[in-house]
Every structure is written in C-alpha cells, then in structure tokens.
C-alpha cells in the first residue's frame, strides 16, 4: 500500500549525502588531508607551524603530530587521520607516507568512478593489490641481526632526517641505537624491547650537541636543601608518594630553616609530628629520599642533619620509573617504610651545572635515560619527537629482524610489479589493480617534488633503473641522482612499509564503499564546528 507520502525516518538534524556526492566528498577530504602533510615528506620536506586556540605553537615535520593537532570535522578526513594515528601507534614512523598513499588511492578511485567503474570492483582490485604488495614487500626485505649496530644506525638515521635537528643527527643516531640495544631482551630466541625502559628527558639551556645517554635515572630537580650532601654513594633510596608535611600549618610555609632555633617557630605538636615523619625515613636506613609531594621545612632540616639527600615534587611517571629501575617500593605511609622497600644504586649525584640529579648504577641495568638539551622548548619538543621516532624504528627492526631500502625504491618496485600482476588478472578489476599500482607513484614523486626535482623526470629514471633489475634504485634527494639506496644507507624497518601499505589500503577501500553518509549535526555547532581549511 502506498500512500504517496514520503516516509520520514531521519531526524531533522541529520545531514545526508549519498551516491556520487558522498563519494566525492570523501575523496576530496582524503586528498585535502594528504595535501596538508605532503610537503613534509622526506629529508628535504618542510616544517609546519601549528598554533592552537590558546596560542601554543608547535613547529614540526612529523605527520602524526600535524594531524593530531589540526581539528577536522569531516568524517572521511577523520578516518584518514586515523591512518596516521594507527601508523604512529604500531610503528612510530611512516605516518606521512601512509597518508600520502591514502590520498593517492582516493585520487585514482576518483578517475575510475568517473569512468563508471563500480565501487565494489575498485574495492576488490585494491584488496588484491594490497595483498600482492605485502607479498612483494616481504620478498624485498633484508635481514638484520640485533647486534648489527651499523645497519641499525642507518635505520635510525633515515627516520630522523628532515627534522630541524640535522646538526646533531649522527650523535643522536648513536645514542638511540645504544639505548635500545641496552634495553633489548632475548626470550625464547625472540628479541623484545619495551619502550618504557628508555626514558627521555629534556633540559633547556645547553646546546643540542650536549645530548647524553645516561645509564640510569635522571630527575630534573635539585636536592631541596643546601645542607644535604650533594653526592651519595652506595645509595639506599626511599620512595614516598605522600606529602611529608602538616597540611594546616600556622607557620608561613616559606621559612627556610637553617638552624635549630628557627625550628622553634613551629608549635611543639607540629614539630613532633614532623620529626616523626623524618625519623621514619631515617629509621629505614635510607640515605636518599625521592618524594612525589612536598617536604615541610622542619622535615628537610632533620633529613639534612642526618645526611639524607632529598628531592620533592617528583612527577608520578618518574617515581614509577625509579621504582622499576631501583627495585624499590613506592610507600604511602612513611611510618610503614622498611629497609625492604628501599632501592639501591651506586651513586646519586646532583649535576653541578644543570638542575638535575643523576642516579647511576641502578639495580636494573635496563634503565636508560636519553637526556636532550636545546635552546628552546620548540627545539626540544622536535628533538623528542625525532628520538621517539628513532627509538621506535630500531625497536621494530630489532624485534622483526628485517628492513627494506627507502628513497622511493620499494614504491617504484611495487608499482611496476603490481602492474605486471594486474595484466595477469584481466577484466575490469585489472583496471583497479593498475590504478592501485599507480598510487605508489605518489611517494617517489613527492620526494622529488619536495627536493626541487622534476617529479616526472625522476619517475621515468626510477622506472628505467628498476626495469633493468635495480631493485634498490631510489632518489638521492640531495643531488637528484638515481642511486642504490642500500649503498647509500637509506634504510627503513619492514614493519613500517607493511603497516603503511595495509592501513592506507584498508582505509581507502572502506571509504570507496561508502555511498551514503548520514551525519547528525549537534544542535548548536560550537567553534570546532568549522571544517578545517588547508
């Protein structure tokens, strides 16, 4: 029975896009997101300056960071950003690559849709292309031993180039490889690395070149009182999570107590309570105290009198790291502290120059701190991002024992091999596989473009080299020559390439299959309601 009246099933505030319009909208969104990060790809890529609504500035070349900072509303754009996030979570590098590939896959899909190829055919071709690519890229991979410092060094170097930290790259490469090698564990013949074992600390002031690898813990605070020793050997370290003070003291908090008389400023009752806190620490046999909260002046005074080195207001993450490194227990009630809770280290020492304390010779040899230095917060943050990327790629390569060559070599090989494969398939799906192959052109093309070379010429040269069997031929972005990337030492973990192929393809496939988008609008669009403009 038809009444002739349309049946309304969606609420008024649902915006609906369907058919070609939905597809076009997702394609435009994916292209826009890829366009936003494209210019950062490769060692000669540019940086982006991002300013948030509070005026905070981030200057970076890191794809995941850029996409994490910009606010987008389009659901398709959000999915593309998700690709970068997944890549960052799983691998730690290759985020721009993954996003550029999704953009290219969607661009290719646009052409096919215009030619009237059905989305399910495109999706099928893309899936076949993806499976073939993963197979090919495995075949191109090379083996690396976890002790092969030279190769691991090059893998880190490739991942941290292009950030504004070029001058200290070689030094950082060494620090990163040594740090990861020191924390790597072999269980049942398999290498495992826990990235929580490597602590990264930043200190503003000195030059970038003063970055250091410290076998131990660094706490970026000084001892709280000059009366305490600056250096403690054979340290017995107490970790307390609660404040060592009376919350409602009548005495002004900021009196510095240096003599016994000044203690009299506190009431007798307060003095007793505070002395008990100090006594509990002293009784445990500790000669170092790390406190997550504040330490009242009288407590400081008693601790200093007993030769105890104490630091207050230590962040929780540092406390946890210290507990693990020192094999210590974090205690809440000082009066329950016993010798068993203490951690031990060979040396606790305040750094004469910086406001930092180093704890070395820890019980757990897997406590490694990378101390970064630089003149500004922006620089330190970018250094930290580089070290994070670098640490992750060595971990990936060590755990899997595999790597591939970079510089667009793998992508060129893929695009040629997949085209060959497409011709064995036939039918309309062949066109989709060919289009899938073409999407890989985006990587060598963008690398060439960002380095100031003609992308078409470089692509032709690359294809020529590969058709002559030069599997490792890639673009030297500094002189424009097509060279062997293995000899050049431009290396990346296999995991990174596999992940970028997989997540880019899967997202493109998902987006192509969408032909109906129903977006429920919130009643009052806030300031974030505006779509991002690139």
Binding letters toward ligand ADP, positions 371-410, x by CB under 6 A = -----------------------------------xx---
Binding segment for ligand ADP among 37-45, 297-305, 323-331, 421-429 (CB under 6 A)? 37-45
The rounded distance, in Å, linking the Cα atoms of 343 and 480 is 56
Which of these is catalytic: 40, 65, 86, 95?
Answer: 95
Identify which of residues 94 and 216 has a Cβ nearer to ligand ADP in the complex.
94
Strands (DSSP E) contained in 304-428 are 309-311, 330-331, 343-350, 357-362, 368-374, 402-405
Q: CA 353 → CA 229, 330, 356, 357, 361, distances in Å?
A: 16, 29, 8, 10, 21
- 84-123: contacts with ligand ADP (CB under 6 A): 93-97
Q: Looking at the chain, how many residues does it have?
A: 534
Q: CA 188 → CA 185, 191, 192, 362, 396, distances in Å?
A: 10, 8, 10, 26, 18
Which residue, judged by CB position, is nearest to ligand ADP in the bound state?
A: 406
Q: Contact 280/258 with Cβ under 8 angstroms?
A: no
| 96 assigned to active site | yes
Closest CA to 409 of 477, 489, 474: 474
Binding segment for ligand ADP among 218-226, 266-274, 457-465, 469-477 (CB under 6 A)? 469-477
Identify which of residues 43 and 76 has a Cβ nearer to ligand ADP in the complex.
43
Tell me the three state secondary structure of residue 267.
coil
Of Mg ion, ligand ADP, none, which one does residue 103 interact with (CB within 5 to 8 Å by kind)?
none
Question: Which of 92, 119, 125, 162: binder of ligand ADP (CB under 6 A)?
Answer: 162
Binding letters toward Mg ion, positions 132-171, x by CB under 5 A = ---------------------------x------------
Q: At closest approach, how far in Å is the CB of 449 from Mg ion? A: 17
Q: What is the DSSP code (8-state) at residue 295?
A: B
| Cβ neighbours of 142 (radius 10 Å) | 14
Binding status of residue 477 toward ligand ADP by CB under 6 A: yes
Q: At closest approach, how far in Å is the CB of 389 from Mg ion? A: 6
Which residue, judged by CB position, is nearest to Mg ion in the bound state?
A: 93
Binding status of residue 158 toward ligand ADP by CB under 6 A: yes
Of Mg ion, ligand ADP, none, which one does residue 25 interact with (CB within 5 to 8 Å by kind)?
none
The rounded distance, in Å, linking the Cα atoms of 463 and 445 is 12
**Radius of gyration over every alpha carbon of the chain, rounded to an integer in angstroms:** 29
Q: At closest approach, how far in Å is the CB of 417 from ligand ADP? A: 18
Q: At closest approach, how far in Å is the CB of 500 from ligand ADP? A: 7
The rounded distance, in Å, linking the Cα atoms of 126 and 508 is 8
User: Which phi-psi region, left, alpha or beta, contains residue 326 (left: φ > 0; alpha: ψ -120 to 50)?
Assistant: alpha
Which of these is catalytic: 60, 62, 178, 357?
Answer: 62
Question: Which of 93, 220, 350, 488: binder of Mg ion (CB under 5 A)?
Answer: 93
Q: At closest approach, how far in Å is the CB of 156 from Mg ion? A: 11
Which of these is catalytic: 86, 96, 391, 412?
Answer: 96
The token pair at 255 is 């009196």
Q: CA 424 → CA 333, 472, 501, distances in Å?
A: 73, 25, 22
Active centre residues (catalytic): 62, 95-96, 389
Binding residues vs Mg ion (CB under 5 A): 93, 159
Binding residues vs ligand ADP (CB under 6 A): 40-43, 45, 63, 93-97, 158, 161-162, 406-407, 443, 447, 474-477, 490, 492
């Amino acid at each position: 029975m038809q009444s002739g009246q349309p049946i309304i099933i969606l609420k008024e505030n649902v915006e609906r896009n369907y058919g070609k319009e939905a597809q076009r909208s997702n394609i435009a969104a994916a292209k826009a997101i890829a366009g936003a990060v494209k210019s950062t790809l490769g060692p000669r890529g540019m940086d982006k300056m991002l300013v948030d609504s509070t005026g905070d500035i981030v200057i970076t070349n890191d794809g995941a960071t850029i996409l994490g900072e910009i606010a987008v509303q389009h659901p398709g754009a959000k999915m593309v950003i998700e690709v970068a996030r997944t890549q960052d979570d799983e691998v730690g590098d290759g985020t721009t690559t993954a996003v550029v590939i999704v953009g290219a896959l969607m661009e290719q899909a646009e052409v096919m849709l215009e030619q009237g190829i059905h989305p399910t055919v495109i999706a099928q071709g893309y899936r076949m292309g993806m499976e073939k690519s993963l197979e090919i890229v495995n075949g191109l991979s090379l083996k690396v031993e976890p002790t092969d410092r030279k190769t691991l060094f090059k893998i880190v170097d490739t991942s941290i180039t292009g950030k504004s930290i070029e001058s200290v790259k070689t030094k950082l490469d060494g620090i990163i490889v040594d740090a990861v090698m020191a924390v790597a564990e072999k269980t049942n013949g398999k290498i495992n690395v826990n990235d929580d074992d490597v602590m990264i600390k930043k200190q503003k002031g000195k030059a970038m070149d003063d970055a250091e690898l410290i076998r131990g813990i660094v706490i970026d605070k000084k001892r709280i009182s000059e009366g305490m020793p600056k250096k403690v050997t054979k340290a017995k370290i107490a970790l307390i999570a609660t404040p060592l003070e009376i919350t409602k003291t009548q005495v002004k908090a900021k009196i510095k107590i240096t003599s016994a008389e000044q203690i009299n400023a506190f009431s007798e009752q307060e003095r007793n309570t505070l002395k008990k806190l100090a006594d509990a620490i002293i009784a445990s046999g500790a000669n170092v105290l790390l406190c997550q909260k504040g330490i009242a002046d009288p407590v400081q005074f008693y601790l200093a009198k007993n030769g105890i080195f104490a630091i207050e207001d230590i962040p929780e993450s540092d406390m946890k790291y210290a507990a693990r490194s020192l094999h210590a227990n974090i205690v809440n009630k000082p009066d329950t502290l016993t010798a068993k809770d203490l951690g031990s280290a060979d040396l606790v020492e305040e750094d004469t120059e910086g406001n930092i304390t180093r704890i070395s010779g820890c019980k757990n040899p897997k406590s490694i701190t990378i101390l970064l230095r630089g003149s500004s917060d922006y620089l330190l943050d970018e250094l930290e991002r580089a070290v994070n990327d670098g640490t992750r790629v060595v971990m990936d390569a060590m755990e899997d024992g595999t790597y591939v060559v970079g510089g667009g070599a793998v992508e060129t090989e893929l695009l040629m091999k997949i085209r060959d494969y497409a011709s064995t398939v036939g039918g309309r799906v062949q066109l989709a596989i060919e289009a899938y192959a073409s999407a890989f052109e985006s990587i060598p093309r963008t690398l060439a473009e960002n380095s100031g070379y003609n992308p078409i010429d470089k692509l032709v040269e690359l294809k020529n080299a590969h058709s002559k069997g030069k599997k490792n031929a890639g673009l030297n972005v500094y002189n424009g020559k097509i060279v062997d990337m293995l000899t050049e030492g431009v290396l990346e973990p296999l995991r990174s390439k596999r992940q970028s192929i997989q997540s880019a393809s899967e997202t493109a496939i998902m987006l192509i299959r969408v032909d109906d988008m129903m977006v429920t609008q919130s009643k009052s669009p806030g300031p974030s309601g505006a779509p991002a403009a690139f």
